[in-house]
Structure 1
Amino acid sequence: NERMSVLQQNQNKFDNETVLRTVMLGFKKLVDIMDEKDALYANPDFSEEDGIRAGELEGEFAELGGYDAEYQAGQLLNALEIPEELHYSLMADLDAKQKV
């Protein structure tokens, strides 16, 4: 099972995102699930309904390979010769050649 992820060609669109997250944004559904899970877990008034929804999201996240996604994105960046110390930098901090 292979999946192709695609980002828009506007190299400045993701300037406020980290390099690693930008790669992961190629799989928008997974990132949307991550964001929803994070918002639920950050809610100080976490309810039983929130717990049920979080469980559903965790299942979907696992099915989509979410627990390996960050590692795989890092491996892709390494293969593109983007050093690990830049993976958590903002895209705005990369030069144009690195963004392409």
Structure 2
Amino acid sequence: MTHESGPTIRLRRVGIELRRIRESAGLSVHEAGRLLNRSPSSISKYENGQVRLWNRELDRILDHYDVKDPALRRGDPHVRAQPHSRPAADRGVRPSRHHGGPAW
């Protein structure tokens, strides 16, 4: 089992995009936190790629940031989860019963 000491490239890319969207919406970290009912620390962790977001949470953030861009909405590869190269069963992973898997 490998352990990553920092954010993955995908998490960092998503975080950079979320920060860009927030800033272009004219929101501070504190304002975004109030809007999303999250702490400024949580917003910072999203943007620094320190935590994974579920698709449902990412959709909620994009809704609150008033993002209309269809590329982001339908699954830009830097924002949405990428399919694994092998089926989950081949990797010894049980399929999730949750709706809206990890965004990355």
* Same topology, TM > 0.5: no
TM-score normalised by length of structure 2: 0.25
**Whose Rg is larger?**
1
- Higher RCO, Cα 8 Å, sep 6+: 1
Structure with the bigger percentage of helix: 1
What is the TM-score with the length of structure 1 in the denominator?
Answer: 0.25
